[in-house]
Amino acid sequence: MMASVVCGVTAVAAAEEGATLEGGGRNGAPTHLLTEYQTNPIELMETKPRFSWRLRDERRDAMQKYIAYLEARTNYAASRCWPVSIRRCGDNMKNSIAISLGVSILGAAHFAIAQPTTAPSPQVPEQQQLVAKQRAFPTAEGFGAYTPGGRGGKVLFVTNLDDSGPGSLREAVETPGPRTVIFRVSGTIQLKKRLSIKEPYITIAGQTAPGDGICLAGYDLLIGTHDVIVRHLRCRPGDLTPGERDAISVFAAENVIVDHCSASWGNDEQLSTWRSKLVTVQWSFITEALHNSTHHKGNHGFGSLIQCDGASYHHNLYAHNRSRNPRPGSGRIDFRNNVIYNWNGMAGYAEDNKQQVNYVNNWLKPGPSTVEHRDIAFHTGR
């Protein structure tokens, strides 16, 4: 059974090497197995039960030779694709056949042929390539999960709640170079202007603040660069200062993840991603838009605009926003496992342009303000 799957991959390998199935492949490929077992693995299981349940010693040896050949061709340990029972080829083969079939088809065909290991790029050090494949933190998921943030850089401490100056959050944000921001204080930072993240490679670790954590008030937070991690912040711009603003905006950015943040009291959207690439917003509150406030259009309290080439919004709570929960624009967007509660107009709808959206497993519950469109979760806009 398992040799039939292996031989299916051998056919591809032999064809690449210019060998015929009957005459044997180059580099020691055991293509003599192909003349008898180059059929579909499912068909083989139905038509050749003797071969499926117990491999004879010589066929087991031939398969092991093929594994060695495959490892030599692709620089990949093909034996990792097989369960232990395939090596033993004993009486427990029948019990493991279903698991073995799935692992071997997906494992061998995908890893050994579709994605052969390549040498590291000479322009990028091997250590840097390995770091780039690490998650931002263990629970990071989605398009922005692999941003390094400030990993490997200096550690900066926020020691006061001032808007600017030594020891302030703004000073840490504006410092160039990789950095991780740690909080030694908790409370509300009354911003005197927008807090803009323009210097790349930064991790803002809001979870390190003691007590009740950190809240940004008065103005908004703008992420406008690449490789940014923002965690455990509350953003409440309010409408006491003039202007129209989201609580958190990701604009012209790349490789960004926003995790366990709370975005509320903006008089436009609450947390939007615009003209960006590879962004994740996860496990966050996107709530309580200021609907009848100071926006020049009048009633204008919404959830999220999403225009991004690779945006993941998952496990977020949208509550008490008029609409746009969310409003996706162009790009590739994955919107799943979110809770949407108490919308007022249309819960969510799309722009009239080309877009690719996964809208999966979201839970919507009408609330007291949901007086219309209670039965429409999302409108395509077309």
Whether residue 311 contacts residue 143, with contact meaning beta carbons closer than 8 Å, is answered with yes
Six token digits for residue 252 = 């012209």
Whether residue 136 contacts residue 278, with contact meaning beta carbons closer than 8 Å, is answered with no
Rounded Cα gap, residues 96 and 319, in angstroms: 48
Residue type, 277: K
Task: Tell the CATH superfamily of the 154-365 domain.
Answer: Single-stranded right-handed beta-helix, Pectin lyase-like (2.160.20.10)
Indicate which residue of 234, 245, 324, 327 is catalytic.
324
Map out the domains of the chain as residue ranges: 2-114, 154-365
Paired residues of 189 in beta bridges: 216
pLDDT digits (tens), the chain, 382 positions: 333 333 333 333 333 333 333 334 444 444 443 333 344 433 433 444 444 444 556 666 766 776 676 666 655 444 444 333 333 333 433 333 333 333 333 333 333 333 334 444 445 555 555 555 799 999 999 999 999 999 999 999 999 999 999 999 999 999 999 999 999 999 999 999 999 999 999 999 999 999 999 999 999 999 999 999 999 999 999 988 777 889 999 999 999 999 999 999 998 899 999 999 999 999 999 999 997 776 667 677 899 999 999 999 999 999 999 989 999 998 999 999 999 999 988 899 888 778 899 999 999 999 999 988 778 888 876 5
Whether residue 249 contacts residue 230, with contact meaning beta carbons closer than 8 Å, is answered with no
336 is annotated as an active-site residue: no
Whether residue 334 contacts residue 313, with contact meaning beta carbons closer than 8 Å, is answered with yes
